[in-house]
Amino acid sequence: MHLKNIFNTIDTHTAGGPTRVVVSGIPSLKGTTVKEKKEYFTKEFDHTRKMLMQEPRGHAGMFGAVLTDACEPDADTGVFFLTSAGYLDMCVHSAIGVAMASWETGITATTRKTIVLDTPAGLIPVERIENRGTVLYKLTTRPAYVCSTGKDAVLPEQGRTSADVVFSGVFFLMIDMDQHGIKVTAENAAGFINSAPAIISEFNGSKSPDCPVKGKKADISMVVFYNKISRNESLNLVVSASGAPDRSPCGAGTGALMTLMHSRGELDINENFTNKSLTGTEMTGYLSDGEKLNEIKTSVPNILSEAYITGFHQFVSDCNDPLHPFLM
């Protein structure tokens, strides 16, 4: 054995969404902000992301989080997020996993019931809520808003459909499958998963609207295929541009759904909402009032979920191993 890298991780799931929290093995990262540290990691250590996220140690649906020193004085720890395909400034389910692991293992030294994460997207508070033996974690996201409504998109089998663009950490393309009389189920999930990359590519190629807040094209990162069950309940499947389905209901996607419903007058501020996944898990949440950004009304999603540790791992790379990380 000729080992050249050793990484210790805490693996978690948040409503089914996996996160591999890297707690040691990463060299000191240059930068005066967590965003700069993420950019430095991207340039110098992308091979580490591939090793930990891709096969044979990970898979196409794997998410990760790299802990680093906080750069903001009000934060408890710094963190940025990985996927098998790249990087995220913010990931709700992974951030909840980081906070839960911090409390459960002491990797972040705090006894307070709220942990503040310093992320490339800004400061993100996560609150631990205990209720009758159950522990929930409430994350308050950055402001979300509806970017554009009634946009044309093309579904492979159903043809043209109406879709909405919502910013909730990233840009989501929201497709209400009730307009086609189609239920989002495990049995037809493969069709949604296989079609999402083409839908996103086609939409970003010619139909992406200008974002009134950011002043640039709203490039879509994920598609939300959803059914409305009732005023306060929905079921969805969220698929990324790389074709990876979210195992959880998707925290940011849940925020996007609540924001869209609120813009239609279908959900009030502080009204509870439940979003379900195809794996049988759920996230709950509610909206707080947000400030105006470039005269655009925003709301602030608050997402609640259970989260659990699934393992403590030590990953290594052997100098003699000819196999490079890959995705099937």
Name residue 173's amino acid: L
The per-residue DSSP string of 281-323 comes to -EEEEEEEE---BTTB--EEEEEEE-EEEEEEEEEEEETT--P
Please tell me which residue in 147, 211, 250, 319 is annotated as part of the active site. 250
Helix axes 46-53, 34-44, angle to 10 degrees: 80
The string of DSSP codes covering 217-262 is B--EEEEEEEEEEETTEEEEEEEETTSPBPSS--HHHHHHHHHHHH
Length of the chain: 328
Beta strand spans in the chain (E): 3-14, 17-24, 63-68, 77-83, 87-88, 114-119, 122-131, 134-140, 145-155, 159-168, 170-176, 220-230, 233-240, 273-276, 282-289, 299-305, 307-318
> Among residues 91, 147, 211, 319, which one is catalytic?
91
* CA of residue 61 relative to chain centroid, distance: 11
| 81 vs 84: CA distance, rounded Å | 11
Q: Which residue reads 């759904």 in tokens? A: 257
Active site residue 250: yes
Measured distance CA(105)–CA(122) in Å, rounded: 24
Q: Hey, which residues are catalytic here?
A: 91, 250
